[in-house]
Amino acid sequence: KSSTRALILFISKKNNSLYLYIDFRNLNRIFIKNYYSLYLILEILNKIKFLKINTSLKLIL
C-alpha cells in the first residue's frame, strides 16, 4: 500500500448522475507546506527588480 493515497468515491446526485469525490485530506497532511509569506516574496521581488539581466542568443544558420 502506498503512503500517499486519497479516498476516491462516486456519489450519486439527485438526478441519478455520478459525482466524483476525492478526499485529499490525508495527502495534505504529509505534503511539506510552503511557509514563505507574501511579505518575503515581495521583498525579494523589490530587490531583484533593479537587476539587469544580460542574455545572448546565438543563431546557427
Residue 17's pLDDT is: 93
Residue 54's pLDDT is: 66
Q: Which portions of the chain are predicted below pLDDT 70?
A: 1, 34-38, 53-59, 61
Residue 11's pLDDT is: 92
How many other C-beta atoms lie within 10 A of the C-beta of residue 50? 6
Residue 61's pLDDT is: 60
Greatest CA separation for the chain: 64
- The stretches of the chain forming alpha helices (DSSP H) are 25-30, 38-48
Write down the residue that cell numbers 446526485 correspond to: 13
